[in-house]
Structure 1
Amino acid sequence: MDLVERALAGERLAIARLLTQVENNTSFGQEALQRLYPRTGNAHIVGLTGAPGTGKSSLANQLAKAIRSRQDAPKVAIVAVDPSSPFTGGALLGDRVRMRDLAGDSGVFVRSMASRGALGGVARATSAIVQVLDALGFGMILVETVGTGQSEVEVARLAHTVIVVDAPGLGDDVQAIKAGILEIADILVVNKADLPGVENTLRALNLMLEMFPQTREQNGWKPPLLRASAVNGEGIVEIIDAIFRHGEYLKTHSLWTTRERSRVLTEILERVQEILLEHWKHQVGETRLNQVVERVLQRELSPAEAVKYLLD
């Protein structure tokens, strides 16, 4: 059997190697993704986003464990996007340390990946990784974003259900609104509810929900505000119930297809932009591009004039 067939048979080492090929965008990875794509479209993709320190990794760990304990539980995959080193391009991939207690369950697969400088809290290859896991039969895929707290709304274009995680004691009760991520929440979770100040955070978020209606197509869905503690397991069952309830809501109100269409359109446009940019850079040439950069540095051209000059 080749690598794809072994991965479809559930061989974990084959799955890991296949995901590496896809993440690195090798020719084999591209071919494998094309072979697997007809099998996609069955997974419920759940995004976990929020500011650093809110406990997203610990929450994902608890959610996966609790989902797997349910009757007729789906296989669960966790895709944890870690920040890259600006020097080496690598990442600590520390989420694996927090999720060690999932290692004994063959129905759970954890994949950490470096953001590689991608903005929006999600790596460029995350969508492809999610598609492979979907094709391999993982019915629930949790995507945990980097946690930069400023530009993580990209996960809304990838996930069916977005969980925005906040926590008390971050120094600012309006952290979520400053980060610009409250509006994309399908479910709001205040994690670390065992810490002091949780009631203040809940009150602040309740007020924000009333003041700032969601900008995503909700069609009547009101995001529940839940409290949880990944340390002692408080609120985990309620979050899982909300996830499944939201999935059913999307399907019964024809929003599941709407979000799928938006995700596909976004991915196509991003790929077109990448190809066109590479084609343009090849046409312009590195020498000419560097010459224009020098002229901008010498204040002979503004960046806007430089773009116009290069495009002309």
Structure 2
Amino acid sequence: MNEVVEKVIAGDIRTVARLIRDIDDRMPHVRSILKALYPHTGRAYVIGITGAPGVGKSTLVDRMISYLRQRGKTVGVLAVDPTSPFSGGAILGDRVRMQRHSMDKGVFIRSLATRGHFGGVTQSTRSAIDVLDAMGKDYIIVETVGVGQDEVDVVKSAHTTVIVVIPGMGDDIQAIKAGILEVGDIFLINKADRDGSDKTMTDLRLMIDMDQKKFAEGRWKPPILKAQAVFDEGVAELIEAIDRHRAYIEETCGTLRFRQQRGRVREELVQMIKDRLVEEMIGRLIASGEFDQAVDLIADGSLDPYSACDDLVLPHLQI
């Protein structure tokens, strides 16, 4: 274990790749490694990129990598993809669009599976962020699978969250949910050469301006930018906006170690406890045969799933 920890801190790419694979596969030995790596985290700046499928997130991330590398910064990318129902792995393969960076030792790109987690950011993703942080990456970009009313978890792990939209996705007001407005630090209208980009910007600005009281108190007001990532237009302005948001965080919070803030620590610990309890409980029930017995009883109609759930769980709670 100590050898693995030392190699991760030294930036060994193969060791990091194997460790993230083991994290994604939920191998039991990784917990002790993550415990040892945690004191070495807190230095990287985490950027969340989220948006509906097809808005050009991967192309945008590819361009962002180029700009950050020109500054001499090292970059880690975690592309969170839908889970394959057959292999359990990530299936979109966003890394294909970033192949030109594959030979750059200052860039590490990895796809992760959502494992059915609607928020787009699983515990595996959070652990992988810690690994890349301990590895010494200056920036970590987390590209999530999509956007929806419940898919706002990326904000819990990112310093700056960029919401990417495109014109012409139907009812723009309906497409931009309230929860997304609350988590977005920067809004980017990609493929801005399309018809309707001005209307999309107007709708976004109107919805953001509806919360003037919050911004009057000195809180960050999300800028709305336009870009055509495929032509490398507007990406430099996005990087500048991220820099401004980083300066705002440092000025208001005094530190970038936002994950040490009590509220965020509480949320992350609660989620970690939930994951551990579910994993332990399901594992015990499957090993004892009780789970499969309950499945058979529900399948043949002799037991309802609510009673089965109570019968399986309550005895283990020792209430």
Q: What is the TM-score normalised by the length of structure 1?
A: 0.86
Could you tell me how far apart the structure 2 residues matched to 1:295 and 1:83 are?
A: 29
Percent of aligned positions with the same letter in both sequences?
A: 42
Gaps of 5+ in 1: none
1:160-211: CA deviation from partner (whole Å, max 9, x where unpaired): 1111111112223125424741221011111111222211111111111123
Counterpart of 2:43 in 1: which secondary structure?
A: coil
Task: Give the secondary-structure state (helix, strand or coil) at the position aligned to 2:14.
Answer: helix
CA deviation string 1:141-171 (max 9, x = no partner)? 1100012545320111111111111111222
- 1:197–1:30 distance in 2 versus 1, CA, 3 Å: same
Confirm or deny: 8 A CA contact 2:8 2:134 kept in the other structure. no
Other structure's SS at 1:52 match: coil
State the match for 1:221 in structure 2. Answer: 220
Kindly tell me: are residues 202 and 9 of structure 1, through their superposed partners in 2, closer, same or farther at Cα, counting changes over 3 Å?
Answer: same
Q: 1:104 to 1:111 in 2, by over 3 A?
A: same
d(CA) in 2 for partners of 1:215 and 1:23?
39
Partner of 2:106: 107
Partner of 2:242: 243
Q: How many residues matched? A: 308
Q: Shift of residue 109 of structure 1?
A: 1.1
Deviation of 1:5 (Å): 2.9
1:22 has 2:38 as partner: no
Query: How do 1:125-144 residues align onto structure 2 when only pairs under 5 Å count?
Result: 125-144=124-143
Distance 1:138 1:214 in 2: 37
Q: Using the TM superposition, give the Cα deviation of residue 289 of structure 1 relative to its aligned residue in structure 2, in angstroms.
A: 7.9
Q: Could you tell me how far 1:33 is from its partner in structure 2?
A: 1.5
Larger helix percent:
2
The within-5 A match list for 1:69-84 is: 69-70=70-71, 73-84=72-83
The 1-side partners of 2:54 and 2:8 are apart by: 34
Aligned pair in 2 of structure 1 residues 12, 103: CA closer, same or farther (>3 Å)? Answer: same
Write out aligned runs for 1:245-260 (5 A): 245-254=244-253, 256-260=256-260
Match of 1:47 in 2: 48
Question: C-alpha displacement at 1:224, in angstroms?
Answer: 0.6
Matched, 1:191 2:190: yes
For 1:242-281, list aligned pairs within 5 A.
Answer: 242-254=241-253, 256-261=256-261, 262-281=263-282
Deviates more, 1:180-189 or 1:85-94: 85-94
Q: 2:290 maps to what in 1? A: 287
Secondary structure of 1:125's partner?
A: helix
Change (3 A) 1:300 1:13: closer
Specify the code of the residue in structure 1 equivalent to 2:188: V
Q: Would you say the 8 A contact 2:169–2:175 is kept in 1?
A: no
RMSD of aligned alpha carbons: 3.0
Q: Distance in 1 between matches of 2:291 and 2:54?
A: 45
Q: How far apart are 1:219 and its partner, in Å?
A: 5.2
1:232–1:22 distance in 2 versus 1, CA, 3 Å: same
Cα drift, residue 265 of structure 1? 2.2
Partner of 1:164: helix, strand, or coil? strand
Deviations 1:14-64 (A, max 9, x none): 221222223323244222222211110011111111111111111111111
Query: Partner residue of 1:208?
Result: 207
Distance 1:215 1:143, change over 3 A: farther
The 8 Å contact of residues 22 and 30 in structure 2, kept in 1 or not, is answered as: yes
TM normalised by structure 2 equals 0.84
Specify whether residues 219 and 302 from structure 1 end up closer, same or farther in structure 2 by C-alpha distance, changes over 3 A only: farther
Paired with 1:199 and 1:251, the residues of 2 have a C-alpha distance of 33
- Structure 2's unaligned 5+ residue stretches are none
Q: Relative to structure 1, is the Cα distance of residues 97 and 240 closer, same or farther in structure 2, using a 3 angstrom cutoff? A: same
**1:238 CA displacement:** 1.3
Shift of the 214–176 alpha-carbon distance from structure 1 to 2, 3 Å rule, reads farther
CA contact (8 A) 1:93 1:113 kept: no
Q: Which amino acid aligns with 1:8?
A: I
Structure 1 stretch displaced more, 164-173 or 123-132: 164-173
Show the 5 A alignment for 1:146-161: 146-147=145-146, 149-161=148-160
Partner of 1:94: 93
| Equivalent runs, 1:167-178 vs 2, <5 Å | 167-178=166-177
Larger CA deviation: 274-283 vs 26-35: 274-283
Specify whether residues 257 and 4 from structure 1 end up closer, same or farther in structure 2 by C-alpha distance, changes over 3 A only.
Answer: closer
